[in-house]
């Protein structure tokens, strides 16, 4: 300990303590930042993947997915023209309070699915058991249901019209609350495609109201990724819609009418085009993509986790080496390297022999390393055995260049 005064020791300890504190803070801060970057990587991967899954699911379509009625509920047969198809009794007692027709243009830009919600009230003095709906258009599939479930009905299909006789779940008695049910059906090849550079489409819809209606609402929804045409020659909507809105995926147009008399004829026109190219898909079932979602989800977690592990592990090794080189004195590095080369355990006397340091100098620097929680001395017979207890430093390569060895020799002298 020659040449070292008490003041010099206090100054060295103060500097070492300061460096250790600064490096600990830097180490924690850098690891935190790397952890955040790894988390961002994983979340970004999963976000992009989920967007692709959603886009894939939205562009999957098949007529097999359309609602269809139970086979026993459909009665298709050709009846003589003079045959009366209306159910007998109490039809005149019913008033159609609301008819809301939702037309969804399908993703194949050919067919439309219509959900007509009817609300009736009994304004007469006798109970009603049946309701008849007349559709003056060719349809392919019918489903009738209310808030509880499917309703029993008879579907009489003719060449250009359809009669649907619906049996109410419970009789609609006079002055009872209004009753609402839905008739859902498909109309195929209802869209006209215009061959233009913008690939535009025309949808013409016309209907004759089969009975008087207090309020009629028509809502037409474009397919996903479609918008109105912006041509100046022909207006995109005829007549002008009362309201234009969106559900986040589809653009919708609403017309609202009141006091519609029976047999009134109305027409609407919607001209629209693609907003962006939709890639065609040959997959027509929504069950298949779960076989892709689950493996890719776990693959994302594994890739993100392994990336984070290797980044943190590689950085930690470099960081530990830098900390050792900056905080340990030159004799401490040399002693630590001797212990490493002896597989982490060596006697104190052997350190003196290999290093050439005096017993007092070796004892002093071993005490310094003990205070820093790097090594530990234990009695081994009549000698002291030294071992590394800081696992982070067991594999750190300690570099001691020639200049350091010369300075160590001078200090020893």
Q: Annotate 239-275 with DSSP letters as a single string.
A: S--SEEEE-SSSEEEEEEEEEEPTT-EEEEEEEEEES
pLDDT at position 287 is 47
Measured from the Cβ of residue 5, the count of other Cβ atoms closer than 10 Å reads 9
CA angle centred on 347, ends 341 and 352, rounded to 5°: 80
pLDDT at position 65 is 38
- The top-scoring range by mean pLDDT among 193-197, 301-305, 363-367 is 363-367
* Peptide bond before residue 152 is cis, with ω within 30 degrees of 0: no
Residue 157 β-bridge partners: 162
Compute the distance between CA of residue 153 and CA of residue 151 in angstroms, rounded to an integer. Answer: 6
Q: How many CA atoms lie within 13 A of 99 on its CB side?
A: 23
Q: DSSP assignment of 197-252, as one string?
A: TT-EEEEEEEEE-SS-EEEEEEEEEPPTTEEE---SSS-SEES--SEEEE-SSSEE
Compute the distance between CA of residue 278 and CA of residue 60 in angstroms, rounded to an integer. Answer: 11
Of the chain, the percentage scoring pLDDT greater than 90 comes to 27
Q: Determine the average pLDDT of the residues in 246-271.
A: 93
Look at residue 264 and tell me whether its pLDDT is greater than 60.
yes
**Region class of 199: left (phi > 0), else alpha (psi between -120 and 50), else beta:** left
Q: What is the pTM of this model?
A: 0.49
User: pLDDT tens for residues 118-127?
Assistant: 999 998 888 8
pLDDT at position 393 is 63
Q: How many CA atoms lie within 13 A of 379 on its CB side?
A: 2
Of 13-22, 199-208, 304-313, the least confident: 13-22
pLDDT at position 374 is 81
Q: CB burial class (10 A; 0-12, 13-18, 19+) of residue 247?
A: exposed
- CA separation (Å) from 52 to 56, 57, 276, 289, 391? 6, 9, 15, 11, 45
User: pLDDT tens for residues 135-190?
Assistant: 888 888 899 999 999 999 999 888 778 889 999 999 999 989 999 999 999 998 88
Look at residue 105 and tell me whether its pLDDT is greater than 70.
yes
User: pLDDT tens for residues 202-217?
Assistant: 999 999 998 999 999 9
User: pLDDT tens for residues 53-102?
Assistant: 554 444 433 333 333 333 333 333 333 344 344 444 445 778 999 999 99
- The top-scoring range by mean pLDDT among 105-109, 229-233, 256-260, 293-297 is 256-260
- Measure CA of the first residue to CA of the last residue in the chain; give whole Å: 11
């Amino acid at each position: 300990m020659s040449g070292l005064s008490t003041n010099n020791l206090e100054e060295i300890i103060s500097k070492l303590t300061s460096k250790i504190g600064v490096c600990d803070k830097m180490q924690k801060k850098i690891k935190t930042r790397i952890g955040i970057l790894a988390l961002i990587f994983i979340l970004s991967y999963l976000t992009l993947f989920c967007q692709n899954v959603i886009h894939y699911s939205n562009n999957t379509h098949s007529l097999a997915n359309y609602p269809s009625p139970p086979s026993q509920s459909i009665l298709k047969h050709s009846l003589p023209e003079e045959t009366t198809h209306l159910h007998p009794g109490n039809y005149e007692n019913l008033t159609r309070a609301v008819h809301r027709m939702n037309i969804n243009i399908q993703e194949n830009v050919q067919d439309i699915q219509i959900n007509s919600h009817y609300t009736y009230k009994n304004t007469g003095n006798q109970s009603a058991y049946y309701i008849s709906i007349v559709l003056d258009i060719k349809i392919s599939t019918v489903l009738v249901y209310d808030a509880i479930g499917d309703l029993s009905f008879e579907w009489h299909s003719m060449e250009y019209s359809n009669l649907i006789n619906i049996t109410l779940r419970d009789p609609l008695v006079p002055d009872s609350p209004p009753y609402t049910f839905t008739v859902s059906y498909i109309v195929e090849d209802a869209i006209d495609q215009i061959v233009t550079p913008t690939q535009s489409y025309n949808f013409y819809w016309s209907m004759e109201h089969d009975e008087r209606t207090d309020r009629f609402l028509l809502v037409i929804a474009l397919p996903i990724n479609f918008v109105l045409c912006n041509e100046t020659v022909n207006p995109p909507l005829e007549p002008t819609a009362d309201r234009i809105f969106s559900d986040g995926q589809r653009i919708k147009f609403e017309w609202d009418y009141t006091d519609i008399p029976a047999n009134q004829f109305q027409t609407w026109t919607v001209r629209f085009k693609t907003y962006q190219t939709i890639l065609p898909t040959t997959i027509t079932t929504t069950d298949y993509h779960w076989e892709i979602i689950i493996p890719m989800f776990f693959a994302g977690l594994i890739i993100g986790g392994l990336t984070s592990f290797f980044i943190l592990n590689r950085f930690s090794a470099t960081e530990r080496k830098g900390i050792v080189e900056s905080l340990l004195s030159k004799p401490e590095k040399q002693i630590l390297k001797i212990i490493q080369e002896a597989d982490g355990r060596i006697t104190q006397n052997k350190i003196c022999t290999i290093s050439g340091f005096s017993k007092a100098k070796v004892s002093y620097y071993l005490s310094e390393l003990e205070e820093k929680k790097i090594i530990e001395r234990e009695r081994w017979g009549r000698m002291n055995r030294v071992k590394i207890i800081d696992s982070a430093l067991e594999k750190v390569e300690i570099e001691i260049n020639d200049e350091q060895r010369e300075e160590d020799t001078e200090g020893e002298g």
